[in-house]
Structure 1
Amino acid sequence: MATPPLTIGVEEEFLLLDPGTGQNVPVADAVRAALPPEVSARSHAEFRHSMIEMVTPVCGDLPGLAHELTTARRAAAAAAEATGAMLVPIGATPVGEPKLGVTDNPRYRAIADYYGPIVDDPAVCGVHVHVGVPDRETAVRVGNHLRVWLPVIQAMTVNSPFHAGTDTGHASWRAMQLDRWPALGPAPWFASAADFDRTVALLVGSGMMLDEKLVLWHARPSATYPTIEVRVADVPLTVDDTVLLTALVRGLVATALDDLADGRDAPRVPGLAVEAAHWNAAHAGLDGTLTDLRENRPRPAWELVGDLVTTVRPALERHGDLPYTTDQLDRLRAEGTGARRQREAVRRAGSLPAALGRLARAMSA
């Protein structure tokens, strides 16, 4: 019998910005209240008053996922417009955030009290891809296999070059900003779920981590769903960008499951090397070299993208995702990453606020 497709689901975070100035506006509650009831149930309040998260149901294929993402984005964009704001799919606050307090959530207030001024960094927005796996033990072991490839995924999805109204020189300022937080980078290599739990307990006991729920590594067993959750990417500009990301992540998870079934363990790449690869990916995106963690050397970025696709090709074929993925990779190569497209939008519009308005309109078209 054919293996059933691995289930997928996505959480996308968006910024709410002033159409004139590009500054963050604290209208998340009003936007959620303006959503149609059938969509509102799939929206979440986030850490900042200028953010909203939209969540898809569990999906089995890419067309279904694309439909759910499009429906949620259009509804959220219309609700934002009704409040006088615009919904913008970018990874970091581009101009400024006048209201820095966290939303009225006891959990968020506890985090703010514990970590102090780190919490005063402006809002950042990511996308979290969930792929169904049999159990938590499997999720941990799959995460080991993802470590060498997630810098490539990050480089493909960089979408936050601007901060405080200027170009930072980094393709993902969100990644640079999040480096200040504990347990929010690449996951270590774990021998088992028990090893994972011992490490988390050590971090909590040291005081570095507030509690065991604050595990925010790039890949982790979901605390809520029977999935592995990959959370390395900036929120993408378009639905196609998000669906391409999901196809590749599902391909990597399926490939890791095949490796585990065949008794192939993941390489134990040193943590510092993985961190360096992610820093490089966040800085350069696809415009330069990336670190090949299998060979411990820099290589042209698109060569590594090609290796990634070759690695997951059997899984893409099995899920029926190969034609779409091939087409979207061609588009990505022609258009560039979200960071490159943002910079080009600013060049054409003549100012950052004007470019942000164009990006908002393009997203909901």
Structure 2
Amino acid sequence: MDVRTVGVEEELLLVDPDSGEPRALSAAVLASAGREGGVGQEVFEAELQREQLEFATLPQASMSDLADEIVRWRAEAARHAARLGGAVAALATSPLPVSPSLAAGERYGWMAEEFGLTTQEQLTCGCHVHVSVGSDEEGVAVLDRIRPWLSVLVAISANSPFWQGRDSGYASYRSRVWGRWPSAGPVELFGSADRYHEQVSAMVGTGALRDRGMIYFDARLSATYPTVEVRVADVCLDPATTVLIATLVRGLVETAAREWRAGLPPVPHGVGLLRLASWRAGRSGMEEQLIHPLTMRPRPAADVVGALVGHVRDALEDAGDVPLVEEAVAALPETGNGARFQRDVVKRTGSLREVVAACVRRTCGG
């Protein structure tokens, strides 16, 4: 059967390979890629801060092809950074203290003026997953039905335990920092594409948001592509974890679309409960209990991940993704996520600089 295509956007941290401190190299890296021309010129983009770099894959039906692209573009980013005496790390926040430097442009200048310290401090790197949908109506039906499950993706991807040189106490502190934007986080049920677009127009109409690009919902309709865009994940340390997140998101989208076609209603959890589930996932990651998406009661993280896999199993089977997901999920208790890896390095070395060095190696599969 035909399967939905998936694309991934990853934001990477640009760092000094010796000190581990973030470096404002994005413009130089983009210039390096531009001089070579080819597809790489179109893949990389600047982000809010000059210490980060974004790339986007092409839409892929095969998760193997998606994995190859992620590895390829991480390696290309690393190559261009190395030319400039830098390195790239798939870190969702900088373990070491940093004063970010805003990228050039009218849009970013407006954000700095409007949002003040929120913009100045916002050096976070996420992973956004795009999954194709047939129409806005299908897309909004998907958004309504995947809401309870998104917190589980936060826990699996958690890769930001450190902030400004300190352990934050969170597995995903990025998710807390990102939540400072006024349009970020979980949203209510929409019920129809018309209602979704009315809400977005009303939010932009307040003047608090510059445009539709600043609709930072946990999941939204893409303004550029015929996709649902899920935006909750930290950038994952290992490329394989990114592929796991993308596979689960495709499973969620397909499962939700089938429920909609079958006339099954979405789970009517309120935004307050969804925020609590997201907070718990960011706080605990995979190390403690999470909030079960259906019962909204605490359960061991492994049980909640298992519930997610069970929820999307039919879609995974039809796409041929069950072996990939089962192998990756079975390894989670032993390997953990990026947050556990970072804390393990600190326990072993006592050095946040060593954390960055180790993550630079892991970013490209080392």
* TM-score computed with the length of structure 1 as normaliser: 0.96
1:15 aligns with 2:13: yes
Contact 1:280 1:291 in 2 (8 A): yes
> What's the secondary structure of 2:220's corresponding residue?
strand
Matched, 1:165 2:197: no
Q: Specify the SS of the correspondent of 1:327.
A: helix
Q: Is the 8 A contact 2:20 2:356 kept in 1?
A: yes
Counterpart position of 1:240: 240
CA deviation vs aligned residue, 1:269-293 (integer Å, no higher than 9, x gap): 1110000110010000111111123
The one-character-per-residue Cα deviations of 1:57-107 (angstroms, maximum 9, x if unpaired) are 111110100111111001111111111111010111221323x34211222
Amino acid in the other structure paired with 1:66? A
Segments of 5+ residues of structure 1 without an aligned counterpart are: none
AA in 2 matched with 1:90? L
Per-residue deviation, residues 149-183 of structure 1 (Å, max 9, x unmatched): 00111111110000111111110111111121111
| C-alpha contact 1:16 1:24 (8 A) present in aligned 2 | yes
Are the aligned partners of 1:273 and 1:293 in contact in 2 as well (CA < 8 Å)?
A: no
Corresponding position: 1:124 with 2:118: no
What is aligned with 2:285?
285
Cα deviations across residues 225-279 of structure 1 (Å, max 9, x unaligned)? 0000001000000110100000100001010111011111211111100001100
Partner residue of 2:49?
A: 48
Letter of the structure 1 residue corresponding to residue 363 of structure 2: M
Once the two structures are superposed, what CA deviation does each residue of 1:275-328 show, in whole Å capped at 9, x if it has no partner? Answer: 011001000011111112321311111111111111111111111111111111
Does the alignment pair 1:33 with 2:34? Answer: no
SS at match of 2:11: strand
What displacement does 1:111 show?
A: 1.7
- Distance in 1 separating the partners of 2:301 and 2:361: 30
Instruction: Determine what percentage of the aligned residue pairs are the same residue.
Output: 36
Partners of 1:180 and 1:112 in 2: CA distance: 14
Equivalent-residue separation in structure 2 for 1:173 and 1:243 (angstroms): 22
Deviation at 1:34, TM superposition (A): 2.6
Q: Is the 8 A contact 2:47 2:54 kept in 1?
A: yes
1:122-171 per-position Cα deviation (integer Å, ceiling 9, x unaligned): 41000000000001121111011111100111111110000111111110
3-state SS of 1:232 partner? strand
Structure 2 gap segments, 5+ residues each: none
Shift of 1:205: 3.5
**Could you tell me which residue of structure 2 aligns to residue 87 of structure 1?**
88
Q: Distance in 2 between matches of 1:39 and 1:170?
A: 35
| Count of residues in Structure 1 that have an aligned counterpart in Structure 2 | 362
Conserved? CA contact 1:15–1:87, under 8 Å: yes
Residues 220, 286 of structure 1: alpha-carbon distance in 2 compared, 3 angstrom cutoff = same
